[in-house]
Amino acid sequence: MTTPPPATPQPAPPGPLPAGNAAPSGTSPLSGPVVRLALRSLLGRARVLLLLALPVLLIALTLVQQRFAAMDGTATQNFLSTFGIGVVVPVVTLICTTTLISTEFDDGSIIQLLVKPISRVALVLSKALVILGAVVVFGVLPLGISAMVLHPGDGLPLAIVAGSAVSGVAYVGIFTALAVALRRSVVGALAYWLIWESTIAGLIGPTKWLSARSWGTSVLQAASDVTAEAAQPVPTAYAILAALVVLAGGVLLAGRRIVSMTLSDD
C-alpha cells in the first residue's frame, strides 16, 4: 500500500505582530538592547556629521556675531530664540527621529525588533529617550555655549538651556507620534514644523498655547533677566506641563499604533 505524501504546510496569513504591549512585572520600562542599537545607529559616522552640522553652524554664527556685531542681552536672546529654539532644536529632533524610527519603518528593519518579546511602549520610549538625549547634546548644550559667548550675564545661558530643553521634549513627542502614524512621516513632520510652528503659531495668538516653540520661548523669557517683565506667550508652568504631556502622549500613541500593526502593514 502506497503511503500518501505529507501535506505541504501552507503559510499562515498575515496577522498581528506579537503584541508585547505590556512589560513583564518588575521590569524596567526601558529596553537596554533597543537603547544600545539606537545609539549605534544614531552615532554612525555619516549621521554624526549630519547632526554636527547645525551646532557647528550655530557656533560659527555666534563667533561672527561676537566679532562683527555688538549684541546686547535682548538681541542675543532674540537670536537664540529664533535660530536656536525655532530651527536648531526641531531640525536636530527631526534628523534623530528619521534615523531611529522613520527609516526603520521604511526599510522594514523595524520587524527585527517587533518580533521580539519587548513591550511596544518600552520600544518607543527607549528610542524617544535616545532622541531626547541627542537633542540635548547636539542642540540644547550648543545653545548654552552660544549664550555664554555672546551674553553670559542676566542668566541667559541657563535660560536658553531650559527653554530649548522644553521645546525639545515637546518636539520629540510630536515627531515620534508622526513617525509611526504617517507613511510619509518626514514630509508630515516638515509640514508641521514649517506650517504650524514657523507660520501659524507666529501669526495667530491663541495657537501659541499649542506650539512647542512658544512653550520653549515662554520658559526662556521667564528664566532670563533680559526680558523678565515681558509678556510671555504662555505661562511657564503650562509650558512645562504641556511639553511633558505631549512627550508622554506621543510615546503612548506610537506604542498603541505599533501594537495594532500587522506584518502586511510593512
d(CA 193, CA 191): 5
Please write the tens of the pLDDT for every residue from 118-168.
Answer: 787 888 899 999 999 999 999 999 999 999 999 888 889 999 999 999 999
Contact call for residues 93 and 156 (beta carbons, < 8 A) = no
d(CA 255, CA 20): 10
Please write the tens of the pLDDT for every residue from 221-243.
Answer: 999 988 756 678 899 999 999 99
Whole-prediction pTM value?
0.85
Instruction: State how far Cα 165 lies from the chain centre.
Output: 11
Q: How many CB atoms lie within 10 A of CB 42?
A: 20
The long-range contacts involving 46-49, CB below 8 angstroms and separated by at least 24 positions, are 47/95, 47/99
Provide the residue-wise pLDDT of the chain in tens; the chain has 266 residues. Answer: 455 555 554 544 444 444 444 444 345 677 777 888 888 888 876 778 888 999 999 999 999 988 887 788 888 999 999 999 999 999 999 999 988 887 766 666 666 666 666 787 888 899 999 999 999 999 999 999 999 999 888 889 999 999 999 999 999 999 999 988 887 788 999 999 999 999 999 888 899 999 999 999 999 999 998 875 667 889 999 999 999 999 999 999 988 887 776 444 54
